[in-house]
Amino acid sequence: MELNGKTKINDLLNHYPFLFDFLITLSPAFKNLKNPVILKTMGRVATLEKAANIGGLKVESLISSLKVEIERQTGTRPATGMSGTTSGGKMLTDPGERQEALKGIIKDLHDGGDMEELKQRFRTLVTGVEALEIGQMEQALMDEGLPPEEIKRLCDVHVEIFKEALEEQDRPEPPPGHPIHTFMKENRASEKIMSETSMLLGRIKQTPEQDIFKEHGRALEGLIKRLFEIDIHYTRKENQLFPMLESRHFTGPSQVMWSIHDDIRAYLKKTREAFARKDFLQTEKSLKEAIQTIRDMIYKEEHILFPASLDMLTQKEWIKVKEGEADIGFSWVVPDKGWPQEIIEEVEEGVPGKPVEVLKDVTGALGLNTGQMTLDQINLMLTHLPVDLTFVDENDRVAYYSEGLERIFPRSPAIIGREVRNCHPPKSVHLVNNILDAFKSGARDKAEFWIELGGRFIYIRYFAVRDTKGYYRGTLEVSQDLTEIRKLGGQRRLLDWE
């Protein structure tokens, strides 16, 4: 029997009765075939092409899956007509077809499809899938409305489907000094710390419970403190690498990863809190969750994110990534010397994210509402204010941040021009939207928050900025460390510098 898009469901099941149980696993919609009336009526007229549409599948994917099952059950592979097939049953090579096949597999996974069957579909349809294709597939799904949280929820599962293909490819080997080289150097350092931690937890298991913190508390505290430094690694990704990818309209994978970064931060916070309570069982549980999630993230970075980024970004964009790295810092390591001094910078026009030209040398004073100041004086004044300032323009893009001596939250030049929603973790985006919508509509002029961060009390305020006619021109964020101010009491009327 020849399989093609015009093959009737009834004919298929009469010829291969065993396919009934297999067919209903391919899509939740196919479970309706269990109803004898529907099977009898629809089966006579419905073709594989129509069934694929009902089940939300590509007809090529459906036919290929059926062929694999028939061969598994009978030992022979049925013929396939050209109508509705994948180039005579061959592996897909057209980029567009491959993307559709990948999306179809992941959609079915999210709908509860069987992992082994989906893996087989992947092997049948696509070979040699590359990291960039997986990233583009995730982006396309999000563009079509699949929430980032849903992709994150099954991220490990769909990576498992592609794992064999990904591991056939070599990990990236960028030159020393390149941002990706530094990220990977940090990964090796984190793996060493995690290994030391796992070995220590093993030794602790042999220690009487009442002696755990006495004998191993200092060593465990040191390892937890060192592992906390991974936050710098993730902050640099979020503020240096992700903005470059966003300028290429590649936002999906970075949003998913940022959400996982926050999960890791939460696990580490729980670890530190449990350790402070001397609750070893919770310390161990949260620490193991953090370590496992970090290891999974390293795999996603080095097999998907980093190779895709190297494919997408130009040398000039990588130089821009590197220029802001030191403003944020590094986890455990110092970047190697070499790149980009050893390359000749390519002059490229029209690179996405190219900064707007600004005046850097203005002779004379600028007329302000209540005085005159030079551009240099304005810059000096803003950098000496005892607060952090960030200004977002009316188009929701970051236009400015103050570069004070002690910033509360990390900033780097890469965020200039960045869409403000992408500057926040996915779980906070709804708050950003609420504030901006209220400011633009005129419903609100201020929003404020206060948090405790690393033993400091931080006061964060947002102000709607309006011109003299009342039109919305942007939002000003003001962050201030109130830790010492809250301790003030009484009065000080005399100068006391001692």
Residue entry with tokens 């093609």: 4
Give the dihedral of Cα atoms 270, 239, 163, 199; nearest 10 deg: -40
When pLDDT is cut at 50, 70 and 90, the band that residue 272 belongs to is: very high
pLDDT at 353: 44
The H or E element containing residue 226 is helix 212-228
Residues 6+ apart with CB under 8 A from 182: 325, 330, 333, 335, 336
- Structure-token match 């007229």, residue found: 45
Give the per-residue pLDDT at 346: 44
CA dist 209 and 231 (Å) reads 31
The pLDDT of 396-405, averaged and rounded, is 87
* pLDDT of 377 higher than 50: yes
Residue 458 has φ and ψ, to the nearest 5°, of -110, 130
Instruction: Give 250's contacts (C-beta < 8 A, 6+ positions apart).
Output: 135, 136, 139, 308, 312
Phi, psi of 138 (to 5 degrees): -60, -45
Q: Which domains does the chain have, with CATH numbers?
A: 9-167 (no CATH), 179-328 (1.20.120.520), 368-487 (3.30.450.20)
Selected residue with higher pLDDT from 56 and 240: 240
Q: Is the pLDDT of residue 135 over 50?
A: yes
Q: What is the mean pLDDT of residues 11-25?
A: 83
Note the pLDDT tens digit of each residue in 192-207.
999 999 999 989 988 9
3-class DSSP state for residue 207? Answer: coil
Amino acid sitting at position 189 = A
Q: Tell me how crowded residue 436 is: count the other CB atoms within 10 A of its CB.
A: 21
Distance CA 80, CA 83 (A): 8
Q: Which of 63-67, 140-144, 419-423, 450-454 has the lowest mean pLDDT?
A: 140-144
Q: What is the pLDDT of residue 411?
A: 79
Query: What confidence tier does 254 reach under pLDDT thresholds 50, 70, 90?
Result: confident
Q: Report whether 423 contacts 252 (CB < 8 A).
A: no
To the question of pTM greater than 0.85 for the whole model, the response is no
DSSP H helices in 229-349: 230-236, 242-246, 252-276, 280-300, 306-312, 315-323, 325-328
pLDDT tens track for 146-187: 676 766 665 666 666 666 666 666 677 889 999 999 999 999
- What is the arithmetic mean of pLDDT over 362-371? 78
Tell me which of 23-27, 197-201, 302-306 is least confident: 23-27
